[in-house]
Amino acid sequence: MSKKSFYDILGVSSDVSDADLKKAYRQLSLKYHPDRCSDPDAAHMMQQVNEAYETLSDPVLRQQYDNPHMVGVNGHPPDMNMFFQQMFGGFPFGQMFEHGGINIEIVHGPGGATFIRQRTRPTVVQISITLEQAYAGATIPVSKPGSSEVEIIVIPAGINNGQTMPVAQDFHVCVNISPHHLFQRSGNDLYTKKTLTLKEALCGAQFSFIHLNGKNLTLHISNAVVSPGAKKSFQGMGFTQEGSLVVEFDVVFPTTLSQEQRDALMTVL
């Protein structure tokens, strides 16, 4: 069975406009988003979609893809002198390094075609998301630099702070996760702090909070004396199902005790 073309992967015709190409990419990005698609091959499909869009959204690379004879077919290398004369102002390949060199990359497409393009440093746009969005995934509108266009960025669930995502060849986003008022993330685990009174530390307590998944959870502390700085882990309640929620406790001691309270403590302790 022949390998699908990039156009087939995106479900568009070979004369698709840039606007329709982008629309098809957005639809497929949402379709194969991990929160929407339970297909075990979704990650592979998304990889194919990204590869196809990265090629077809680049005018130079799309022209090379549509005209593979220009740059090499079936694994045969292209005529480098002809290619560089076409692409970089008439300098033959052998003279390129005499003019300060050039930064290129070779891309292998369907059918054994080889594409050569000048590697450019993409513009990186910083975006901020909440820890809840990093936990569940999200779609974020981002203005493309130097343009009035707005790209819809699909943030996958479980993304890491500082992770860079390619949107197009010349446009990437760096995802920054804003500090949370209750939780801190470390890998698959979530950390939080809880202050107990001395009575709660000695006799047990229960407390509720809103988890990142939006559910109101109640934790019970019983049958154990909680010391200041003690930690308790709750498996399966972390940033992922494999992680834990780790609660670190602080204990507030009373500043004064009545004589009656002292006598009572002396009796029971």
Read off the CATH number of the domain in which 220 is found. 2.60.260.20
**For residue 127, is it within any domain?**
yes
Average the pLDDT over 13-19 and give the result. Answer: 90
Same domain (yes/no): 109, 11 = yes
Q: Assess whether 70 and 28 both reside in one domain.
A: yes
> Are 138 and 67 within one domain?
no
pLDDT, tens digit, 9 for 90 and up, residues 55-95: 898 887 888 888 765 544 444 455 555 555 555 554 444 44
Q: Is residue 258 assigned to a domain?
A: no
How many angstroms separate the CA atoms of 65 and 131, rounded?
40
Tell me if 262 is assigned to some domain. Answer: no
Flag whether pLDDT at 49 surpasses 70.
yes
At residue 45 the predicted structure's pLDDT band, cuts being 50, 70 and 90, is confident
Residues 200 and 234 in one domain: yes
Task: Say if residue 236 is in the same domain as residue 159.
Answer: no
Q: Which domain holds residue 234?
A: 184-252
Count structural domains, the chain.
Answer: 3
Same domain, 172 and 145: yes
CA-derived radius of gyration, the chain: 29
User: Has residue 31 been placed in a domain?
Assistant: yes
Note whether 142 and 227 are same-domain residues: no
168-216 pLDDT per residue, tens: 777 889 999 999 999 999 999 999 999 999 999 988 889 999 999 999 9
Instruction: Choose the weakest-confidence range: 99-108, 123-132, 159-168.
Output: 99-108
Residue 71 lies in a domain: yes
- 42 with 99, same domain? yes
Choosing from 177, 199, 216, the residue where a domain stops is: 177
Whether 11 and 103 share a structural domain: yes
On whether residue 57 sits in a domain, the answer given is yes
Identify whether the C-beta of residue 66 lies closer than 8 Å to the C-beta of residue 14.
yes
Mean pLDDT, the chain, rounded, equals 81
Give the residue-averaged pLDDT of 158-170. Answer: 86
User: Contact at 8 Å (CB) between 209 and 192?
Assistant: yes
